[in-house]
Structure 1
Amino acid sequence: MTNEKDAPSFEETLSELESIVNEMENGDLPLNKALEKFERGIALSRQGQQSLESAEQKVKILLSEHGNDTLKTLPESEQP
């Protein structure tokens, strides 16, 4: 299992995932390479999701430590 210090940052993970998507959208990859890229993309997606869940958990802990234990949803106008 990779330790947190060895794991790429969320931004690095996202950047690599975007690169893979661009390569696959180009459509010039042989099938075996496309499958390898797809498999790597799935792994990166899971890693990114875990990073987001970990960050959310940290935020919840910090909020509860300060007596504000609920997260509020941003209004749609402020959502990315």
Structure 2
Amino acid sequence: MVETKSKISFEDALMELEQIAEKLERQDFSLEESLKAYERGMELKKICQGILDTAEGKIEALTKDESKKTNKT
């Protein structure tokens, strides 16, 4: 499953990452397949981290905005 950053959801990326980790732990890959899986896992990690960073930024902005509203009243 190869999807671009903009098309894969956090949940799908995390699920694929977990599947790759399980296969690597069971050593179900050849060395070449392991390297490709590791590379894909790193891509998925970056996607998940980006989505989490975006969500964190939104939460911080909302919290800051709400805090300003509360302080004005």
Coarse TM-score class (shorter-chain normalised): 0.7 to 0.9
Distance between the aligned counterparts of 1:30 and 1:42, measured in 2?
A: 18
1:67 aligns with 2:70: no
Once the two structures are TM-superposed, the CA of residue 48 in structure 1 deviates from its matched residue by 0.5
State, as a whole percentage, how many aligned pairs show the same letter.
Answer: 35
Q: Which aligned pairs between 1:1-80 and structure 2 lie closer than 5 A? A: 6-67=6-67
Query: Structure 2 regions of 5+ residues with no counterpart?
Result: 69-73
Give how far 1:28 is off. 2.7
Task: Please report the TM-score for the alignment, with normalisation by the length of structure 2.
Answer: 0.80
Output the amino acid matched with 1:52: L
TM-score w.r.t. the length of structure 1 is: 0.74
Give the secondary-structure state (helix, strand or coil) at the position aligned to 1:28.
coil
Letter in 2 for 1:20: I
Deviating runs (4+, > 6 A) in structure 1? none
**How far apart, CA to CA, are the structure 1 residues paired with 2:28 and 2:67?**
54
Q: Which structure would you say has the larger Rg?
A: 2
What's the offset of the Cα at 1:8? 1.1
Equivalenced residue count is 65
RMSD: 1.6
Q: Secondary structure of 2:67's match?
A: coil
Q: Relative contact order: is structure 1 or structure 2 higher (C-alpha 8 Å, sep ≥ 6)?
A: 2
